[in-house]
Amino acid sequence: MAVRFGLLGAGRIGKVHAKAVTGDASAKLVAVADAMPAAAQAIADQYGCDVRTIDAILAAKDIDAVVICTPTDTHADLIERFVKAGKAVFCEKPIDLSLARVKQCLEVVRAHKGTLMVGFNRRFDPHFKAVRAEIDKGAIGKVEMVTITSRDPGAPPVDYIKRSGGIFRDMTIHDFDMARFLLGEEVTEVVATAAVLVDPEIGKAGDFDSVQVMLKTATGKQAMISNSRRATYGYDQRIEVHGSNGMVAAENQRPVSIEIASSLGYTRPPLHDFFMTRYTEAYAAEIATFIAALSGKGKAEPSGEDGLIALALADAAVKSVAEKRVVMVSEVL
């Protein structure tokens, strides 16, 4: 039987998930809720579902699972309420910007034996997934060093920056999760450097826009992350894993694969300029994984615990920059 869904939040990312749910034959979008009635109505019109309040969805007998796409500061509360109501929860990252609050929330999930999957969509990118699959197949031997380059096409508005929890919790957090996904072992040490090079306003807001992080595991596996809030050539998303028998890397993606040659040289178009076009397939695949897990096929992963650890790595990075030293993850988690 199809998994019956409620969608909380009808904004940009809510629309993406609405499309993913309705496009999956094993799922059905029953209702959508949003503080902005027009936004909810637009989704309802397009997919033929109800508009309901969050409370009504919470109480609904015809809803098995929810996708939470509301503002970050509502995530933890909603997770707790819906888990208590017996509904499976898919929540956009992050669970919360406070590690303490996340721990508390996961406590509730555990206590109610709830299902919570967190939206680290990049694990579902077909290219990154293929990198992991090669590692699992043994194509490169034992993983030794992971290199992640992750640069946004452009910095978000400073208003967003202020609410974001800072670059490590907002942007690098995806790379922390990816590093864990690829290292296959828990990170124990974090050290970061950070600067404001893109926009001085970001610095005034107390944040950085250009950061580097090094991670290390107990057995000596290492990872490097390079982040910038602005890459003129598009959304730069590369991963590379060096192992005892070789290396595997995922290349950048662009909308069209053409090349123009002239007296100026050989030019390929810029990369995707937006995370939604870059990760279209990943968004669909993560929801499909969640639906499949609810139908007993596979796991609802990344889990709340994965969300917790990625946030802890971000907190360690923040501390590392402040104290100019290597921070043990055990200091913050």
Which residues would be at the binding site for a second copy (CB under 8 A)?
25, 46, 126-127, 129-131, 134, 139-140, 142, 144-145, 147, 149, 151, 189, 191, 193, 195-198, 210, 212, 214, 216, 220-222, 224, 226, 228, 230-233, 236, 242, 244-251, 253, 255-270, 324-326
Q: Are 56 and 7 in contact (CB under 8 A)?
A: no
Is the Cβ of residue 71 or residue 126 nearer to a second copy in the bound state? 126
Q: Are 66 and 21 in contact (CB under 8 A)?
A: no
Is the Cβ of residue 47 or residue 103 nearer to a second copy in the bound state? 47
CA distance 159 to 162: 5
Is the Cβ of residue 35 or residue 224 nearer to a second copy in the bound state? 224
Q: Are 8 and 57 in contact (CB under 8 A)?
A: yes
Is the Cβ of residue 84 or residue 127 nearer to a second copy in the bound state? 127
Is the Cβ of residue 77 or residue 199 nearer to a second copy in the bound state? 199
Minimum distance of a second copy from residue 245's CB (angstroms) = 6
Reported as half-sphere exposure (CB side, CA atoms, 13 A), residue 13 has a value of 21
Minimum distance of a second copy from residue 256's CB (angstroms) = 4
Query: How many residues are listed for the chain in this entry?
Result: 333
Q: Are 30 and 5 in contact (CB under 8 A)?
A: yes
Angle (CA) 251 246 257, round 5°:
15
Q: Identify residue 223 by its one-letter amino acid code.
A: A
Minimum distance of a second copy from residue 90's CB (angstroms) = 23
Minimum distance of a second copy from residue 110's CB (angstroms) = 33
Is the Cβ of residue 70 or residue 147 nearer to a second copy in the bound state? 147
Minimum distance of a second copy from residue 266's CB (angstroms) = 5
User: Count of CB atoms within 10 A of residue 332's CB?
Assistant: 18
Which residues share a beta bridge with 6? 31, 66
CA distance 132 to 225: 17
Minimum distance of a second copy from residue 250's CB (angstroms) = 5
Minimum distance of a second copy from residue 191's CB (angstroms) = 6
The residues near 67 (Cβ < 8 Å, ≥ 6 apart) are: 5, 6, 7, 8, 14, 17, 21, 90, 91, 287
CA distance 43 to 34: 10
Is the Cβ of residue 3 or residue 300 nearer to a second copy in the bound state? 3
CA distance 273 to 39: 25
Minimum distance of a second copy from residue 247's CB (angstroms) = 4
Minimum distance of a second copy from residue 318's CB (angstroms) = 15
Is the Cβ of residue 88 or residue 215 nearer to a second copy in the bound state? 215
Of the candidates 180, 117, 122, 112, which has an alpha carbon nearest to the alpha carbon of residue 146? 180
Is the Cβ of residue 76 or residue 148 nearer to a second copy in the bound state? 148
User: Count of CB atoms within 10 A of residue 200's CB?
Assistant: 10
Buried-exposed string 148-173: b where 16+ CB fall within 10 A, e elsewhere: bbbbbbebeeeeebeebbbbbbbbbb
